[in-house]
Structure 1
Amino acid sequence: MPTAIAVTGADLALPAQDERTLPAAVLPDLDRRPLDQTLAEIQILLDQHGHLVVVCSGAAPEGVYRRLHTIRSLLESDRIALFRPDLPPLGAAVLARQLRQLASCDLSPGVLASAGRLLTHYIHAGALLGSVARLDRVPVTLKAHAKSWMPGSQFAVLAHPQPQLVRIGPGAALAGPEFATRMTVAKGQLNSDWVTGTLAPAWQVQGLREVPLPADSARWWGTGKLVEFCAYLGDLSVLYQLVTSVRQTVCHWCGLDVIGDLCVFCRATPPDTGDGDPTAAHRTTDARPARLTESAARARRALTL
């Protein structure tokens, strides 16, 4: 059975991108339901799939993440990978769907779980906001704070991969990806077509889909007057090529094949090689790239076709 990909809310289980996208296992209200109930659910997933990757939104209550760690400890299992990406809620949902796509391929559990860290670098996530007065996820200048109180003001914000904030007006733009992407949009209580009518064409996205706004988005962005968006790599062949182009190593602790300098299952990092750099012998392209790295060159060529 393929590795199970779980999310901490139904709103993070986006519709399938293609016919091979596997369904997500939904683990709702982890911090409010009885421990024995949630423990049994995760044990069943492990019995059925062998390994489990749980994607948790960074905006989810801390109690959810603590409950996941409690369950992992009680089961004494290193077959559960907890992944809490530094992304807005819609970006986390898109990343979970990418992992669901890859779960249908011949990737080992360690490589699939590690792929989440790699794919995060290629996600462009942001929002159009009616106010930045309560935004604390992206640096906001005093001038922008003052203008956010003006009636009708709107701001385009990119939270990942590099923070950007501009006030909507003539010529307003956000620097976007240098490769072909698709875009998912989730509308809140803000009436605006700027994302679909201006940003998407400027970024030359190759497909746009609307989904409901994730429950945690208003808390993450500090306002319910928003339109959240996320540009991403949507083609399974490109995702697979990108992941498999990265050098794999074997985790010295649990023995799983991984990419990058961290095993997402057992949290082990490479041992010290004695030269002052504990990751020197195992370093891969899993660092934040300023541009597409050499290991992803084939993926870039595929994206520009």
Structure 2
Amino acid sequence: MTAVVLAGDFPSTGILRASVAQRIALDGAGGDTAPAFIDHMARALQTRGAVLVVYPEWKGKGTRRLVQLARAALLTDRIAGVALDLPPIALSLVADQLTFASSYARPGVLVGLAHRLRETLYAGAWVNSVARLEHIKTGLGAHVSSYLPGGAFAVTAGCQAGVHRITAAKPVPDLGARPGDPVLMLFGGTNGDTEWLQQKLRPAVAAVSATLVAPQPLGAEYWGTKKYVEFVAFSGHPQALQSLLSDFVYRPCGWCGEPTALPHCPLCQMTQPAPPPSPEAVQDQPADVPAVEADVPVAGADVPVAGADVPVAGAGADRTPTAEADEIAVLLQPAPRRPAAADPRLIPAPRATSGDEWPRAGTVAFGPRDRP
């Protein structure tokens, strides 16, 4: 069983009460963060045997170093880190979902499931301005529109990241892909337009429920404003996690044996070989083209020679097969190439030496004769 640890100040949404990921704060003063993190990893290894550290990619530089430090200090490769580019509420939800699946999946499988969950979520927020939005690519027009009065934006994160200016003609952005039915929605924030979320966004994603959760402490930092309403929509089907686990073909790592579907093993961090081609791909390949046979002379066959009116081999009865083969081999050898004459222009002329210098040896010139 794997212990799932969410690094950072991301409280649980409470949607999965029986399965809650461990939380560890990384805002310790001075050098207290590293020892506390290593102690937490040691306790988790003693109780579970493996640890999966989930942390935000947009705030993960320090966490990435802590994971490597814990692996080195504890002399273990059973600590894996996975960085997810998700906003706070969505990240907290994914950590709890991984904790629920940790009872049924190995740690290498959980890392692949984390990336798959990120692709199936629909996360974003209503914000009043994108002037200070740093974690999602924003165009210049949207930045300028943030300074106009009465403006609002629908910002999406994850795999469908983008910025959409809310207008009466188009109140919600285009949905590239929505979660599977039934769709559940969680939302929370401060001073945001919850009416837009309930009346415009919820019907667009066909959510059967919208649950208010406590605002995340790092929500304002991520969205770049204090006026926002953050949301995440996900599939509430009982078999949703199982179907995601069965989407990939897992193979054991050639170094540590951990099953994984990623290019690099999340535990030993070794590169995995390319998977073998599927039988369907092999069948779709074109048939092998037959090799073209070259006209190679064979000993004992009639070999025409330029300038000769009769064949060389088989010309007389007193010729033995060995003698015929030797003669053919001599005839087939290429003519020897004469060495090209040296170009006199490329031969350097001898350099005249003055009487006060020693003779030069190679390219190194020694000093004057009268030098001590």
* TM-score (normalised: structure 2): 0.67
- State the secondary structure of the residue aligned to 2:187: strand
**Are 2:114 and 1:123 equivalent residues in the alignment?**
no
Conserved? CA contact 1:12–1:96, under 8 Å: no
The 3-state SS of whatever aligns with 1:187 is strand
Aligned match of 1:295:
none
Whole-angstrom distance in 1 between the partners of 2:245 and 2:80: 18
1:144 aligns with 2:139: no
Q: Does 1:185 align with 2:207?
A: no
Q: What's the Cα RMSD here?
A: 2.2
Equivalent residue of 1:7, what SS? strand
Q: Provide the rounded CA distance (Å) in 1 between the counterparts of 2:72 and 2:198.
A: 44
Structure 2: distance between partners of 1:219 and 1:209: 22
What does residue 163 of structure 1 align with? 161
Distance 2:80 2:186 in 1: 26
1:56 to 2:50 alignment = no
Instruction: Please list the CA deviations of residues 202-257 of structure 1 after superposition, one character each: whole Å capped at 9, or x if unmatched.
Output: 10013322222222222222212111111123334221122124211111121111
Displacement of 1:22: 2.0
Give the aligned partner of residue 29 of structure 1: 26
Give SS of 1:14's match. coil
Name the counterpart of 1:281: 276
Q: What's the secondary structure of 1:36's corresponding residue?
A: helix
**Segment of structure 1 superposing worse, 218-227 or 26-35:** 26-35
CA distance in 2, matches of 1:232, 1:69: 32
* Moved >4 Å (runs of 4+): none
Which structure has the greater CA radius of gyration?
2
Which letter maps to 2:162?
Q
Number of residue pairs aligned between Structure 1 and Structure 2: 272
Cα distance between partner residues in 1 of 2:67 and 2:9: 17
Deviates more, 1:109-118 or 1:24-33: 24-33
Residues 50 and 162 (structure 1), Cα distance of their counterparts in 2 relative to 1, 3 Å cut: same
Tell whether the 8 Å contact from 2:155 to 2:163 is kept in structure 1 after alignment.
Answer: yes
SS of match in other structure, 1:121:
helix
Structure 1: runs of 5+ lacking an equivalent: 272-278, 284-305
Q: What's the % identity of the aligned pairs?
A: 28
Is 1:79 the counterpart of 2:75? The answer is no
Runs of 5+ consecutive residues of structure 2 not aligned to the other structure: 279-372
- State the alpha-carbon separation in 1 of the partners of residues 133 and 112 from structure 2: 30
Does the 8 Å contact 2:10/2:88 carry over to 1? Answer: no
Q: For the residues of structure 1 that align with 2:81 and 2:97, how far apart are their CA atoms?
A: 16
For the residue of structure 1 that corresponds to 2:160, the secondary structure is coil
Task: Give 1:162 deviation, angstroms.
Answer: 2.2
Q: CA deviation at 1:49?
A: 0.4
Bigger relative contact order, structure 1 or 2, given CA contacts below 8 A and separation 6+?
Answer: 1
Q: Distance in 2 between matches of 1:71 and 1:282?
A: 37
Distance 1:217 1:251, change over 3 A: same
1:253 aligns with 2:255: yes
Residue 185 of structure 1: SS of its match in structure 2? strand
Q: Report deviation, 1:46.
A: 0.6
Distance in 2 between the 1:238 and 1:189 partners?
33
Match of 2:198 in 1: 196
Given the superposition, is the C-alpha separation of residues 257 and 192 from structure 1 closer, same or farther in structure 2, using an over 3 Å criterion? Answer: same
Structure 1 distance, partners of 2:42, 2:238, is 29
Name the CA distance, whole Å, in 2 between partners of 1:35 and 1:96.
22
TM-superposed deviation, 1:164? 2.5
By how many angstroms is 1:87 displaced?
1.5
Contact 2:171 2:200 in 1 (8 A): no
SS of aligned partner of 1:84: strand
Give the Cα separation in 2 of the matches to 1:138 and 1:16.
27
